[in-house]
Amino acid sequence: MTHHRGLAAAIGVVVAGLAVLIGLAVAVAYAGQGGPLPQPPTTETAAPTAAATVGGAQQQADVPVADPYLPDPTWLETTAARTQIPVRALAAYARAHLQVAAEQPDCKVAWNTIAALGGVESRHGSVNGSVLGADGLPRPAIRGPALDGGAFGAVHDTDGGSLDGDTRWDRAVGPLQFIPSTWETWAADANGDGVADPNQIDDAALAAGRYLCHSGELTGAAAWRRAVFSFNHSDAYVNDIAGLANTYAQRAG
- Which pLDDT does position 1 carry in this prediction? 62
- Could you give the count of Cα atoms lying within 13 Å of 212 in the half-sphere of its Cβ? 33
- Dist. CA 1–CA 240, nearest whole Å: 16
Write out pLDDT tens, residues 60-73: 434 444 678 989 99
pTM (2 decimals)? Answer: 0.79
- CB–CB of 234/65 below 8 Å? no
Mean pLDDT calculated for residue range 38-62: 43
pLDDT tens-place string over residues 115-165? 999 999 999 999 999 999 999 999 999 999 998 888 777 899 899 998 988
101, containing H or E segment: helix 87-103
Give the burial string for 98-133 (b: 16+ CB within 10 Å, else e): bbbbeebeebbbbbbbbbbbbbbbbbbbbbeebebe
Q: How many CA atoms lie within 13 A of 81 on its CB side?
A: 5
pLDDT in tens, 183-242: 999 999 999 999 999 999 999 999 999 999 999 999 899 999 999 999 988 999 999 999
Q: Is the dihedral of CA 110, 111, 112, 114 positive or negative?
A: positive
Radius of gyration of the chain (CA): 17
